[in-house]
């Protein structure tokens, strides 16, 4: 079974976290959510509390096929300040596994130094913090790096992740069940 880690920091963008977690779980990916602090309750950018599966420190060293970072201004800044997470992202990329981020969170991938020559996308106002050009499209999958542009791209981003992890048939089955056209 494929396994994914979704770190949740206070201020995470609600739809970017929930849509991705939901889509991956529909596709039978084992998704572990982790709070940055010891308390597993994390508050979203829009005031919705969410209970993570475990504190990050308890699950960070496990093997994951993908690590997925939701955006949100405050959430992204909190992720960027978490040095153990940045170290884990570097190791994840070195191991040939997926590092993924949406909205403002691709800037965390940049801060971790895991972006090389891959094309990426991000929220338009975050391009300067990205330190490179943004593709300016909803989703980009380039090698081990998958990025999404904004909350409006969350479902497509989740389906792109599912496609990379579980293949075309499962991604289409989940998309069809959601009445979402993948093409």
Active site residues: 103
Sheet holding 98-102, edge to edge: 54-55, 30-35, 3-8, 66-69, 98-102, 145-148, 139-142
- CA dist 51 and 168 (Å) reads 31
Local structure of 56: helix, strand or coil: helix
- CA dist 116 and 89 (Å) reads 13
140, 58 Cβ separation under 8 angstroms: no
16, 75 Cβ separation under 8 angstroms: no
């Amino acid at each position: 079974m494929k396994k994914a880690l979704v770190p949740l920091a206070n201020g995470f963008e609600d739809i970017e976290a929930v849509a991705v977690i939901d889509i991956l779980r529909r596709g039978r990916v084992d998704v572990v959510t982790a709070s940055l602090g010891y308390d597993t309750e994390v508050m979203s950018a829009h005031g919705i509390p969410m209970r993570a599966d475990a504190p990050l420190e308890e699950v960070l060293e496990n093997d994951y096929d993908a690590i997925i970072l939701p955006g949100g201004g405050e959430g992204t800044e909190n992720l960027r300040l978490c040095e153990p997470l940045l170290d884990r992202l570097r190791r994840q990329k070195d191991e040939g596994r997926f590092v993924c981020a949406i909205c403002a969170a691709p800037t965390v991938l940049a801060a971790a130094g895991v972006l090389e020559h891959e094309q990426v996308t991000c929220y338009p106002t975050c391009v300067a913090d990205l330190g490179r050009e943004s593709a300016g499209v909803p989703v980009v999958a380039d090698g081990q790096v998958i990025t999404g542009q904004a909350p409006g791209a969350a479902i497509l981003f989740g389906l792109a992740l599912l496609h990379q992890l579980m293949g075309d048939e499962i991604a289409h089955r989940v998309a069809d069940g959601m009445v979402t056209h993948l093409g």
